Structure 1
Amino acid sequence: MPGIPVTAPDAGKSALRRRLLAARAALTGDEVAAAGEALATRATALPDLAGARTVAAYVSIGREPSTRTLLERLRATGTRVLLPVLRPDNDLDWAAYEGPDALVRAGRGLLEPSGPRLGRAAVTGADAVLLPGLAVDRRGLRLGRGGGSYDRVLARLEAAEARPALVVLLYDDEVVDEVPAEPHDRPVRAAVTPSGVRRFGGVEEVEG
């Protein structure tokens, strides 16, 4: 699985985000769709998801690695899927996924479930949490978009002493040598890309 070395000019989060977003913008719709199918196959084979009763996920937008097929496959197996609802303060509420027809267009181009809100703490009951991101490094540290919503989610999990499997969904070339880290950053358990799974924790393990 290829990785992008992060050199000194790209050391800052903003520079790295710009480069990764530019690479995503160059992808075609067919490439995004094909990656989404491969991601769904890889992710549903993960024991962390295959054995999960509740998975907190998200609806991909734009050129993000597509989660549409994955959401449907999880729901088809009887897994309870929670999706985020963006609050005015940039924190996340949650609601159950009831299929693509029950999604509504919200602010910032997001698609959100139309069902009852379950509260910010609903995520603490998930067995696995799928995280959006732009990159992950060899330590399992994730680079997000910088909005802070998922930092709050991770802090909430920590405060509740919840230990779900944290999994980030990425393209192959978004597994990098190093991302700029802060003391509060919490590593993910695994990164799923179209070509494989990379696990973290002690000894790094790659599954093709």
Structure 2
Amino acid sequence: MSRDGSFDRKALRKSLRKARISLSSEQQYSAEIAVAHQLNQSEFIHQSTTIAGYLANDGEVSLSSFITAQWQHQGPYKRHITLPVIHPVNKGHLLMLAYTPTTQMTENKYGIVEPEVACNHIHLISDHSVILMPLVGFDRQGNRLGMGGGYYDRTLSNIRNAPIRPKLVGVAHDCQEVSQLPVQSWDVPLDAIVTPSRILHFKND
């Protein structure tokens, strides 16, 4: 193992990615519906107006049913959905762009579909009530293991100590839980994790 724990993270990432990719299409769909239900019943979604989601890739839990429900939401305030887009200028960072049924989409360098960049569709991180993030692994201390690119950690690094900030929520299959993740100083901890079976809340004040 290297001094910074990178070997542990690499091995964990490989094992956990294999676990979620191995899930059948029926298991994936069941997870999608269950996570949508968990989110739709949660207090933090009830209080939200702008929510960052993602389009599933590599066996991640799909948010398609949840996003569709937000587009159809009837309430005193309209709910806005955004998706992460690789920043075209600020290397290694993300932008959050509005996502609707008519949004023009394109593929990024990883082959992941994302909204086409349009300045008038950008939402600041601080505009969001909740940011839903995919992950490769998690533990019960609120730590998140991502794909290794560091995009979310860089993008969210400036809001860690902000007095008012979005709620950071990881979304995962139950099989992605580990007892303890190796943590780096730049890792941004989560406020909650949603799986098909439960919601875990953490205090990261």
2:175 to 173, 176, 188: 173
Q: Name 1:65's counterpart in structure 2.
A: 61
Residue in 2 aligned with 1:151? 153
User: Which of 132, 139, 144 is residue 130 of structure 1 equivalent to?
Assistant: 132
Is the 1:121–1:156 Cα contact (8 Å) retained in structure 2? Answer: no
Q: CA deviation at 1:64?
A: 0.8
Residue in structure 2 matched with residue 85 of structure 1 by the alignment: 85
Note if contact 1:36-1:194 (Cα within 8 Å) is conserved in structure 2: yes
Taking a change above 3 Å as real, the CA distance of residues 75 and 25 of structure 1, as seen in their structure-2 partners, is same
Match for residue 7 of structure 1?
none
Q: Which runs of 5+ in 1 are unaligned?
A: 1-9, 203-208
- Structure 2: any 5+ residue segments left out of the alignment? 1-5
1:184 is matched with 186
Aligned partner of residue 108 in structure 1, secondary structure: coil
Letter of the structure 1 residue corresponding to residue 178 of structure 2: V
Pairing 1:2-81 to 2, within 5 Å after superposition: 12-77=8-73, 78-81=78-81
- Judge which range, 38-47 or 87-96, deviates more: 87-96
Equivalent residue letter for 2:41: A
Q: Does 1:108 align with 2:110?
A: yes
Contact (CA 8 Å) 1:59, 1:67: kept in 2 or not? yes
Shift in CA distance, 34/16, structure 1 to aligned 2, threshold 3 Å: same
Rounded Cα–Cα distance in structure 2 between residues aligned with 1:115 and 1:121: 11
Quickly say closer, same or farther: Cα 1:97–1:39, change in 2 above 3 A: same
Q: Of 165, 175, 178, which residue of structure 2 is paired with 1:163?
A: 165
Separation (CA, whole Å) in 1 of partners of 2:159 and 2:120? 16
User: Once the 2 structures are TM-superposed, how far is the Cα of residue 87 of structure 1 from its aligned partner?
Assistant: 2.6
> 1:185 Cα deviation (Å)?
2.4
Is 10-19 or 162-171 further displaced after alignment?
10-19
Aligned equivalents of 1:45, 1:120: Cα separation in 2:
28
CA RMSD of aligned residues (A): 2.5
Q: In structure 2, what is the Cα distance between the partners aligned to 1:40 and 1:96? A: 20
TM norm structure 2: 0.84
- Distance in 1, matches of 2:65 and 2:170, equals 16
Q: What do the CA deviations read for 1:24-70 (whole angstroms, capped 9, x no partner)? A: 22112221111111111101211111110111111112311111111
Distance 1:107 1:184 in 2: 24
Deviation at 1:114, TM superposition (A): 3.5
Conserved in 2, the CA contact under 8 Å of 1:92 and 1:120?
no
Q: SS at 2:168's partner residue?
A: strand
Preserved contact between residue 20 and residue 174 of structure 1 (Cα < 8 Å): yes
TM-score (norm 1): 0.83
